[in-house]
Amino acid sequence: MREAVVTNTSPLLKRRSWYSRIGRQRLLVPTVFLFPSLLIYAIFVLGTMIYSFVLSFTNWDGISRTFNFIGLVNYIKLFNDAEFYNALKNNLIWVVISLILPMFLGLLLAVLIDRQIRGENIFKSIFYLPMTISFVVIAVIWSWIYEPNLGILNISLRAVGLGFFSKAWLASQNTALFSIIIAASWQLTGYSMVLFLAGLRNIPPELIEAAELDGASSWQSFWHVIYPMLRSVRTIVTVTIIINSFRVFDLVFAMTKGGPGTASSVLAMFMYREGFLKYRMSYGSAIAVMQFFIILIIMIVYLWRSMKAEEEVY
């Protein structure tokens, strides 16, 4: 009786062994193809992050072959550096404005295009075009727009009788930072529009029709039905904007180099100036580490609050 049981189950065991062998082969193929990319990522991303973290505890100037470990000296100096707090303040201002302008304009454009307007693909291409342009090209374009004498902004102000508003936008401490943020927002608006439009197209039309049958106005349908359904898209857009706002460097460097003075300096610009211009590479590494942890903390808090709000809804 026991032998019969073993004989009857042996084909099943062979089949399971065959499936497990096929499963291992299917796992092996993507692993082989992914290994070079993962290795490059580990060396040039994770490796440099760890190396920067180690350098932040040294006194390396970026040129010498040797360096000494000095503990938390760079971090103590950083927390007592007024320029660090100025750069952090500018980054936070950048985040707030970037979360308002590109998100609002992107959502507005997405709602308008979602109405199946004529030439929809043309409008989408035009609004998304800035996202395909590099930051350096955007810096050149907007530097010409802000040019005091020949820039289209000042020419337009003088043409409509508002010449008293015209100024050297990138040379003024009061307007330099906001001028660069507007240039960055111009690029991010198209990105936000595409994501919001994809989110709108995924909302079941039955929900909107049901709200209209219940007597809801267009605004009520949008605020109580459409906008809550875009929660996941809003999270993606917000996370992307926050990370880009803290990582921004090339746009600031190409337009003002952090000036006039330090009026438009951000953390990445501050890090570049300390590490590569003043030859304080260990201090620049400490700034980079602090920048990483600031982004990480903001992301954790925001995502935690988003997930908690989503749980309350469901």
Q: What angle do helix axes 82-113 and 120-128 make, rounded to 10 degrees?
A: 170
Give yes or no: residues 112 and 231 share one domain: yes
Q: How confident is the model at residue 189 (pLDDT cuts 50, 70, 90)?
A: very high
Residue 6, pLDDT score: 45
Q: How many domains does the chain have?
A: 2
Q: Which amino acid is at 87?
A: A
The pTM for the full model equals 0.83
| Rounded percentage of the chain residues whose pLDDT exceeds 70 | 90
Whether 69 maps to a domain, the answer reads: no
CA distances from 253 to 127, 154, 204 (A): 25, 23, 45
Residue 82, pLDDT score: 94
Residue 89, pLDDT score: 95
d(CA 241, CA 243): 6
Give yes or no: residues 155 and 265 share one domain: yes
Residue 2 has pLDDT above 50, yes or no: no
Whether 270 maps to a domain, the answer reads: yes
Domain that holds residue 108: 75-313
pLDDT tens per residue across span 67-79: 899 999 999 999 9
User: Mean pLDDT over residues 33-40, rounded?
Assistant: 87
Residue 185: CB atoms within 10 Å: 23
Whether 144 maps to a domain, the answer reads: yes
Residue 306, pLDDT score: 79
User: Mean pLDDT over residues 264-281, rounded?
Assistant: 94
Give yes or no: residues 44 and 138 share one domain: no
d(CA 126, CA 144): 20
Q: How confident is the model at residue 33 (pLDDT cuts 50, 70, 90)?
A: confident
User: Mean pLDDT over residues 45-57, rounded?
Assistant: 91
Give yes or no: residues 2 and 130 share one domain: no
Whether 266 maps to a domain, the answer reads: yes
CATH code, domain with 200: 1.10.3720.10
Whether 67 maps to a domain, the answer reads: no
User: Mean pLDDT over residues 50-65, rounded?
Assistant: 91
Residue 15 has pLDDT above 80, yes or no: no
Q: What is the mean pLDDT of the chain?
A: 86
Residue 5, pLDDT score: 45
Whether 1 maps to a domain, the answer reads: yes
Residue 27, pLDDT score: 73
| Rounded percentage of the chain residues whose pLDDT exceeds 90 | 47
Give yes or no: residues 153 and 253 share one domain: yes
Residue 10, pLDDT score: 55
Residue 285, pLDDT score: 94
Residue 193, pLDDT score: 92
Residue 271 has pLDDT above 50, yes or no: yes
SS3 58: strand
Residue 16 has pLDDT above 90, yes or no: no
Residue 50 has pLDDT above 60, yes or no: yes
Give yes or no: residues 114 and 10 share one domain: no
d(CA 196, CA 231): 10
Whether 64 maps to a domain, the answer reads: no
Percent of the chain that is helix, strand, coil (3-state, to 5): 75, 0, 20
User: Mean pLDDT over residues 170-180, rounded?
Assistant: 93
